[in-house]
Amino acid sequence: MKSELFANLEEIFFAQKDANEIQSEIINLYESMSERTLARGDPVRLFLECIVLIIVQQRSLIDHAAKQNLLAYAEGAFLDHIGALLQVTRLEASHALTTLKFTLSEAQPSAVIIPVNTRASPGGGVILFATTESVEIPAGETQIEVTAQCTLTGTQGNGFVAGQIRKLVDPFPFEMSVVNITESYGGSDVESDENFRERIQIAPESFSVAGPRGAYEFYARSAHQDIIDVAVVGPPVTSPGHVNIYPLMTGGDLPTQEILDAVYEVCNAEDVRPDTDLLHVLSPEPVEYELNVTYWIDRKRATQAAFIQKAVENAVNNWVTWQRVKLGRDINPSELNHRMIAAGAKRTEIISPEFRVLTASQVAIMSGITLTLGGLEDG
């Protein structure tokens, strides 16, 4: 299946896979060589029809195998091999992080060491968080904070809010409690094919040492698996020599400070950033809007009303997501109207939002929704 990234490219096929055309081709060839006509029940014809199924399968494999050499179609390990040609590798799954605070019941006369890999748990499952370094609570004090990471990779370690991780797994000779003081974040699955494909496409930009926008975008997207879009803004929008980078996360989420720091570390490396650039990594500016829409269904389709309502709701939700997964995407009610009509609505009345142009560093985020079915109407 061709990636949406290359939607403007014409679909190509390396082998004919239509069973009817292959069957006609084989039978016509046999009849011309044997100089006899094959009736429908002819054993030879039945045998050739069996061969058609095998040929269709083989041609499907040939077509698929050939397409795996093209960036628009490649998947999985095939895409990894294309990336290797440009020295671009898929980002591995990452661990969720949080900050744990250890507290002694009373101060001790000597320092208390908390070893690396000391584990804490939110309880009720296999999710554990282990400290990433050894720290010590100084003599006479009772508390220390330390970074901990989930022992499992992926998104399953994300979203534990402050206070949820409070069960100390490893025993200590002192009475001690533990609690997370930040929400766990940053856990990601292996980079998706689509995100990896986009990084491969812009990888040649990184070959320049002059600091082009594409190079900064490539390196910024390489900082974390969940970065789906990056805006790079320089002069004349910024002061001479200043470059602003705005990363956007999966689902249109704004980046945490830790993500901003990771992007800065990657893009500010001596072998990436030109000496004349002063780099700033910033969170995109959210532009909030309220959605207030009324729609009507054609009375002739009354029996389909429930299905159309569901389809319209999905169309609206998809539009909301479409708006926020791309930086600088204008708030466009015309696109909303198009999607709702395509989903089965007869007409729409979009009270809000109004069309609004966004800058490259802005992202549209819905703050509230009112979706009303106006009823059935003729015409």
pLDDT in tens, 198-256: 999 999 988 876 678 889 999 999 999 899 999 999 988 888 989 999 999 998 999 98
Q: State the Cα–Cα distance between residues 277 and 243, nearest whole angstrom.
A: 7
d(CA 7, CA 46): 41
Three-state SS annotation for 201-233: HHHHHHHCCCCCHHHHHHHHHCCCCCEEEEEEE
Give CA separation, 251 vs 313, 321, 342, 361, in Å. Answer: 18, 7, 23, 16
Tell me the sheet residues that pair with 118: none
pLDDT one-digit tens code per residue, 32-88: 898 888 888 889 889 888 888 899 999 999 999 999 999 999 999 999 999 999 999
Q: Domains (ranges, CATH) in the chain? A: 4-73 (no CATH), 95-180 (no CATH), 209-283 (3.30.300), 286-377 (no CATH)
pLDDT at 358 over 90: yes
User: What pLDDT is stored for residue 370 in this prediction?
Assistant: 95
